[in-house]
Amino acid sequence: MSAPSLLLEVGNTQIETVETLLQVGRYLVIFLAARALAELMVRLGLPTILGELVAGVLIGVTGLHLILPPAVHAELNQGMLALIGNCAGVSPEAVATIYDESFPSLEATAKLGLYALLFLTGLESELDELMAVGRQATTVALTGVVLPFALGTAGLVLLFHVPLFPAVFAGASMTATSIGITASVFGELGFLRTREGQTVIGAAVLDDIFGIVILAVVVALAADGVLSAGPILQLVLAAAVFVGVALFLSRKAAPAFDWVLDRLRAPGEVVVAGFVVLGLCCFVAEAIGLEAALGAFAAGLILSASKHTAAIQQSVKPLVALFATVFFVLIGSSLDLSVMNPLNPDNRDGLVVALFLLVVAIAGKVAAGWSYLSKEKTNRLVVGLGMMPRGEVGLIFLGLGSQAGILSAPLEAAILLMVIGTTFLAPLLLRLALSGVAAPVDGTAEQAA
Amino acid sequence: MSAPSLLLEVGNTQIETVETLLQVGRYLVIFLAARALAELMVRLGLPTILGELVAGVLIGVTGLHLILPPAVHAELNQGMLALIGNCAGVSPEAVATIYDESFPSLEATAKLGLYALLFLTGLESELDELMAVGRQATTVALTGVVLPFALGTAGLVLLFHVPLFPAVFAGASMTATSIGITASVFGELGFLRTREGQTVIGAAVLDDIFGIVILAVVVALAADGVLSAGPILQLVLAAAVFVGVALFLSRKAAPAFDWVLDRLRAPGEVVVAGFVVLGLCCFVAEAIGLEAALGAFAAGLILSASKHTAAIQQSVKPLVALFATVFFVLIGSSLDLSVMNPLNPDNRDGLVVALFLLVVAIAGKVAAGWSYLSKEKTNRLVVGLGMMPRGEVGLIFLGLGSQAGILSAPLEAAILLMVIGTTFLAPLLLRLALSGVAAPVDGTAEQAA
């Protein structure tokens, strides 16, 4: 059953055929499932990202075993293996071997999607608008990072005796706020341009910066497996310098980028030039011991001041639509939700941990609403609820932590439930909280700024 | 020096870091080199695709050894291995191992680029315009396919004693016409909307269809390594039926696609829906024994009649700009042009073959100009020269033939020189041929139709 002996019986062209069928087939399954569930979520008034996650769960290790990262060591769907084996004239066992061997290229595509998504998030950060609500947004963001992180980590260690390192990671995964989901719900309800809306968006951007810095530190520390003050300080410093340089460059380097871009004449120049900056930032971040993901976000920040920002966003969006979907579906597919089955008594402890994380995740962010510094009448509950959805950022944490092999299966599932729960509840609770309030007219936009 | 023993000394996180650095770094090198040379080509009035090819040659096995497909078995650039080894704290030998192991994901991206490019080519095929110049375009296309194919294959077998199978493949690679390059040169000179221009574009589209069918047959036959009438007929039939069904569906299925698309609400629906059709066509083509590339082209044809065609094109273009570039650079990088060094007497025979292919490639297409059926005064030389550039389509042949392991190194290099030569000479000769002729005014466009 070893790989080489199996594949020696198969011709080169047959291997090519199986590879192509598997790669095309996996994309098809991913896109069809993700799209079907995303459409369902849109119709339920829920974020589409929930659909992509659930799609992954349905076709992954918890469900149909169609999309199965080799690391999870489960049996692939026999029907799929037989179908593709028949087309190419090879045995199902050989198909399974080629499946595992060709899976890394799907994971590489998912990573490309992650970088493209963070690049887009950085590009969409309106630094100027952020400065306008700066003081309030900063206190809200800080409280919303510190409370869930401290309560989550401490609770996991003290109440549930989780080892320090996974506990820190789980705590870190609760710091994030999903700009995309918050912005879309506020926009839909007509509250995006209110002072509350602007503050939440500003705080979400800051959360992303804090969160990605924390992530970079946590993942780098995972390499050593110990928590000691020296390396932490060094990494925090490196991350702070890196983000500081990126913010500085977003003021200073964008004109140079525009100057170069204006002189390029071969077609496709906008997307390629954008990707070169993206690649450079990812490379530097990874080379100095941080995460390439931080580099992708920084690249977006740097180019957010370019006069070609809109064109770059336009050309990155199709990549995000395709490859970030692959990223989210792969996360869902690798999670074994059967460890959360409440009918199995062994799972009760894990379920309690999941419930604890969810409560801390909600309470920590809602409390952040009350840290809002303002003498004007403010709907603090709306601010807090707006900070609640973890969405894609929480998932990025989960994906990287699970890649780094830090988390136990029940803790992974608990984090996923926390992310799903907050992302699912935020739009519902926000609609409830705002149901008594009349949607503001357009004029409040100027008033807010 | 074996792979597992080397990597056992290295931590998981270090492997991740090296992988990320290599993947990001390879994209950076590819984009920077391709872009620099594409910009040079634009300024010289030459097609940008030549720049991408030459970039590949410069950074590949002929040049700097930065981008090196594992199949070519050459030493990687020591400076690059040392740089990345230093960043991650691993030995250069371990970096080389991870380089080879992670290369398939770059090749998968290149294949994605190839499919996206053929999808776009199909999308841009104006079936109605094609019908208007149909009769003339068909005779020109047929002559331009049959002459180079027959002369090339026969000459290689009879004069140079090349085995039948590689000879057929080389002959097939000479049938193509690059729509993109021809259209851009005609457009630049203001001749796109003349009768000659329209006919050449129409013939180029037909050439693509003939060429991709021939390709599908040749590659499928490569699996068996024998040329016998039965399987050839069967494959030609399958390919003809496949293209016929695609042409039929482009009339009938596009409305159904539009109906579905109009009902989708989750963002990114256009690009994802387009990719689902692309994936389905690729899967079916590959599953019935043809090439997935033919499926990609067919998917484009099917959707070319959709009312969302422009939006799909818009969202596919960034993917082509990024990943088709990877495809062309990888082709250039895998070719060892030192086998064409004229200073080495051993290479003389290969050079004579290259010269022969180039002459047949030019003469065959120029002769096609005289097969133009028209009583009106026609610039037959312009039609023939317009059919000359092989461009990306010739390279797709070369790439797939080289993947299938059909071609010897000198024959590969000879085909590359033929593709480069025709692509390089066509714009220059066209400008010469048109220099005496006044550029037509806009009115000729209507006259042409």
Q: pLDDT tens digits for A70-81?
A: 877 889 999 999
Of B90, B106, B122, which marks where a domain is finished?
Answer: B106
Q: Between A and B, how many residue pairs show a Cβ–Cβ distance under 8 A? A: 176
Cβ contacts (< 8 Å) between A321 and chain B: which residues? 267-268, 271-272, 315
Which pLDDT band, with edges at 50, 70 and 90, does A435 fall under? confident
Which pLDDT band, with edges at 50, 70 and 90, does A439 fall under? low
pLDDT reported for residue A33: 97
On whether the CB atoms of residues B199 and B142 are closer than 8 A, the answer is no
Q: Dihedral angle at the C-alpha atoms of B21, B26, B29, B35, nearest 10 degrees?
A: -130
pLDDT reported for residue A309: 93
Q: Give the model confidence (pLDDT) of A418-434 as tens digits.
A: 988 888 888 888 878 87
Those residues whose C-beta lies under 8 Å from the C-beta of residue A268, and which sit 6 or more positions away, are B317, B318, B320, B321, B322, B325
Cβ–Cβ contact B302 with A under 8 A: no
Q: Dihedral angle at the C-alpha atoms of B374, B378, B380, B385, nearest 10 degrees?
A: -120
pLDDT reported for residue A442: 43
H or E element, residue A61 = none
Those residues whose C-beta lies under 8 Å from the C-beta of residue B8, and which sit 6 or more positions away, are none
Of B106, B137, B169, which marks where a domain is finished?
Answer: B106
Cβ–Cβ contact A184 with B under 8 A: no
- The answer to whether A315 contacts B318, with C-beta atoms less than 8 Å apart, is yes
Chain B: give the shortest CA distance to residue A447, in Å.
Answer: 30
On whether the CB atoms of residues B216 and B239 are closer than 8 A, the answer is yes
Cβ–Cβ contact B36 with A under 8 A: no
Cβ contacts (< 8 Å) between A287 and chain B: which residues? 21, 87
pLDDT reported for residue A45: 79
Left, alpha or beta for A183 (phi > 0: left; psi -120 to 50: alpha)? alpha
Chain A: give the shortest CA distance to residue B207, in Å.
Answer: 24
DSSP letter at B63 equals T
Over 90: is that where the pLDDT of A137 sits? Answer: no
Chain B: give the shortest CA distance to residue A80, in Å.
Answer: 13
The string of DSSP letters for A293-346 reads HHHHHHHHHHHTTSTTHHHHHHHHHHHIIIIIHHHHHHHHHH--GGGG-TTSGG
Q: Clarify whether residues B378 and B284 are in a common domain.
A: yes
- Structural domain contains residue B40: yes
Q: Clarify whether residues A130 and A100 are in a common domain.
A: no
Q: How many whole angstroms separate alpha carbon A269 and alpha carbon A325?
A: 25
Q: Specify which of A206-220, A395-409, B46-60 reaches the highest per-range mean pLDDT.
A: B46-60
- The answer to whether A283 contacts B223, with C-beta atoms less than 8 Å apart, is no
Chain A: give the shortest CA distance to residue B348, in Å.
Answer: 32
- Two tokens, residue A31: 């896109």
% of chain A at pLDDT higher than 90:
34
Considering just the CA atoms, what is the radius of gyration of chain A in Å? Answer: 23
Q: Clarify whether residues A45 and A137 are in a common domain.
A: no
Chain B: give the shortest CA distance to residue A279, in Å.
Answer: 6
Over 60: is that where the pLDDT of A3 sits? Answer: no
Q: How many whole angstroms separate alpha carbon A300 and alpha carbon A319?
A: 15
Chain A: give the shortest CA distance to residue B42, in Å.
Answer: 6
One digit per residue, the tens of pLDDT, for chain B of length 449 reads: 344 455 555 666 778 889 999 999 999 999 999 999 999 998 987 888 888 889 999 999 989 999 998 877 889 999 999 999 998 889 999 999 999 999 999 999 998 998 998 898 888 876 776 667 777 888 888 999 999 999 999 999 999 999 888 898 899 889 888 776 777 777 766 776 777 777 887 788 778 777 767 777 777 776 666 666 676 777 778 877 887 888 888 788 888 999 999 999 888 889 999 999 999 999 998 888 777 887 888 899 899 889 999 999 999 999 999 999 998 898 889 878 787 788 888 788 788 999 999 999 999 999 988 887 776 777 888 888 888 888 777 877 888 777 777 788 888 888 988 988 888 888 888 878 877 665 554 434 333 33
The 10 Å Cβ neighbour count of residue A81 is 21
Out of B31, B102, B272, name the one closest to residue A275 (CB). B31
Those residues whose C-beta lies under 8 Å from the C-beta of residue B69, and which sit 6 or more positions away, are B103, B107, B330, B333, B334
Q: Clarify whether residues A400 and A367 are in a common domain.
A: yes
Left, alpha or beta for A344 (phi > 0: left; psi -120 to 50: alpha)? beta
Which pLDDT band, with edges at 50, 70 and 90, does A15 fall under? confident
The 10 Å Cβ neighbour count of residue A88 is 24
Cβ contacts (< 8 Å) between A16 and chain B: which residues? 403-404
- Structural domain contains residue B186: yes
Span A114-121, average pLDDT: 87
Cβ contacts (< 8 Å) between B25 and chain A: which residues? 279, 283
Count up the domains in chain A and report the number: 2
Closest by alpha carbon to B170, among B160, B180, B181?
A: B160
On whether the CB atoms of residues A313 and A288 are closer than 8 A, the answer is no
% of chain A at pLDDT higher than 70:
88
Q: Clarify whether residues A60 and A113 are in a common domain.
A: no
Cβ–Cβ contact A231 with B under 8 A: no
Structural domain containing residue A434: 108-448
Q: How many whole angstroms separate alpha carbon B384 and alpha carbon B406?
A: 30
Over 60: is that where the pLDDT of A82 sits? Answer: yes
Closest by alpha carbon to A49, among A327, A292, A400, A314?
A: A327
Cβ contacts (< 8 Å) between B108 and chain A: which residues? 23, 102, 105, 108-109
Please give the residue that has the higher pLDDT: either B139 or A27.
A27
- The answer to whether A39 contacts B320, with C-beta atoms less than 8 Å apart, is no
Chain A: give the shortest CA distance to residue B187, in Å.
Answer: 15
Over 50: is that where the pLDDT of A444 sits? Answer: no
Chain B: give the shortest CA distance to residue A318, in Å.
Answer: 6
Which pLDDT band, with edges at 50, 70 and 90, does A251 fall under? confident
Sign (positive/negative) of CA torsion B313, B280, B266, A338? negative
Over 50: is that where the pLDDT of A398 sits? Answer: yes
On whether the CB atoms of residues A361 and A421 are closer than 8 A, the answer is yes
Cβ contacts (< 8 Å) between B405 and chain A: which residues? 12
DSSP letter at A375 equals S
Q: Give the model confidence (pLDDT) of A138-192 as tens digits.
A: 888 899 999 999 999 999 999 999 988 889 889 988 988 877 677 777 776 677 6
Q: How many whole angstroms separate alpha carbon B76 and alpha carbon B440?
A: 53
- Structural domain contains residue B293: yes
What's the mean pLDDT when you consider all of chain A? 83
Burial track A354-374 (b if 16+ CB lie within 10 A, e otherwise)? bebbbebbbebbbbbbebbee
On whether the CB atoms of residues A392 and A52 are closer than 8 A, the answer is no
Q: How many whole angstroms separate alpha carbon B244 and alpha carbon B239?
A: 8
- The answer to whether B319 contacts A320, with C-beta atoms less than 8 Å apart, is no
Q: Clarify whether residues B207 and B344 are in a common domain.
A: yes
- The answer to whether B20 contacts A222, with C-beta atoms less than 8 Å apart, is no
pLDDT reported for residue A399: 79
The 10 Å Cβ neighbour count of residue B338 is 12
- Structural domain contains residue B286: yes
Q: Specify which of A23-27, A44-48, A265-269, A372-376 reaches the highest per-range mean pLDDT.
A: A23-27
Closest by alpha carbon to B314, among A52, A115, A270, A48?
A: A270
Taking CA–CA distances from A268, the nearest residue in chain B reads: B321
> Which pTM was predicted?
0.85
Q: How many whole angstroms separate alpha carbon A433 and alpha carbon A291?
A: 38
Task: Measure CA of the first residue to CA of the last residue in chain B; give whole Å.
Answer: 66
- Two tokens, residue A145: 């990072």
Taking CA–CA distances from B324, the nearest residue in chain A reads: A268
Please name the residues between 118 and 177 in chain A that touch chain B, using a CB distance below 8 Å. none
Which pLDDT band, with edges at 50, 70 and 90, does A342 fall under? confident
Q: What is the biggest distance separating any 2 CA atoms in chain A, rounded to whole angstroms?
A: 77
Q: Clarify whether residues B164 and B142 are in a common domain.
A: yes
Q: How many whole angstroms separate alpha carbon B77 and alpha carbon B63?
A: 10
H or E element, residue A75 = none
Cβ contacts (< 8 Å) between A264 and chain B: which residues? 35, 39
Q: Clarify whether residues A83 and A148 are in a common domain.
A: no
Q: How many whole angstroms separate alpha carbon B181 and alpha carbon B158?
A: 32
Please give the residue that has the higher pLDDT: either A397 or B145.
B145
Q: How many whole angstroms separate alpha carbon A252 and alpha carbon A244?
A: 12
Q: Clarify whether residues B36 and B99 are in a common domain.
A: yes
Lowest mean pLDDT across A24-33, A120-129, A275-284, B166-175 = A120-129
Closest by alpha carbon to A223, among A289, A296, A303, A138?
A: A289
- Structural domain contains residue B332: no
Q: What is the three-class DSSP state of A132?
A: helix
Q: Clarify whether residues B284 and B355 are in a common domain.
A: yes
pLDDT reported for residue A283: 95
- Residue B375: phi and psi, rounded to 5, are -90, -15
- Structural domain contains residue B154: yes
Cβ–Cβ contact B194 with A under 8 A: no
DSSP letter at B305 equals T
Amino acid at B363: A
Q: Which residue is listed with tokens 């129409």?
A: B202
Those residues whose C-beta lies under 8 Å from the C-beta of residue B310, and which sit 6 or more positions away, are none
- Structural domain contains residue B290: yes
Out of A13, A43, A286, name the one closest to residue B223 (CB). A13
Q: How many whole angstroms separate alpha carbon B349 and alpha carbon B158?
A: 15
- Residue B97 CB burial class (10 angstroms; 0-12, 13-18, ≥19): buried
- The three-point CA angle A142-A146-A151 to 5° equals 155
- Two tokens, residue B291: 């090439």
Q: Give the model confidence (pLDDT) of A266-280 as tens digits.
A: 888 899 999 999 999
On whether the CB atoms of residues B258 and B306 are closer than 8 A, the answer is yes
Out of B265, B286, B319, name the one closest to residue A17 (CB). B286
Please name the residues between 269 and 288 in chain B that touch chain A, using a CB distance below 8 Å. 269, 271-273, 275-276, 279-280, 282-283, 286-287
Q: Which long-range contacts (CB under 8 A, 24 or more apart) does A282-285 make?
A: A282/A115, A282/B20, A282/B24, A283/B21, A283/B24, A283/B25, A283/B28, A284/A242, A285/A216, A285/A242
Q: How many whole angstroms separate alpha carbon B190 and alpha carbon A173?
A: 59
Chain A: give the shortest CA distance to residue B268, in Å.
Answer: 5
> For B18, how many CA atoms within 13 A lie in the half-sphere containing its CB?
30
Q: Clarify whether residues A170 and A230 are in a common domain.
A: yes
Of A106, A139, A158, which marks where a domain is finished?
Answer: A106
Left, alpha or beta for B440 (phi > 0: left; psi -120 to 50: alpha)? beta
Q: Clarify whether residues A61 and A115 are in a common domain.
A: no
pLDDT reported for residue A437: 64
Out of B266, B283, B321, name the one closest to residue A42 (CB). B266
- CATH number for the domain spanning B416: value is 1.20.1530.20
pLDDT reported for residue B449: 31
Out of B107, B266, B275, name the one closest to residue A39 (CB). B266
Taking CA–CA distances from A13, the nearest residue in chain B reads: B223
Alpha helices in A125-133 (DSSP H): 127-132
- The answer to whether B39 contacts A264, with C-beta atoms less than 8 Å apart, is yes
Cβ–Cβ contact A3 with B under 8 A: no
Helices (H) and strands (E) in chain B, counts: 20, 0
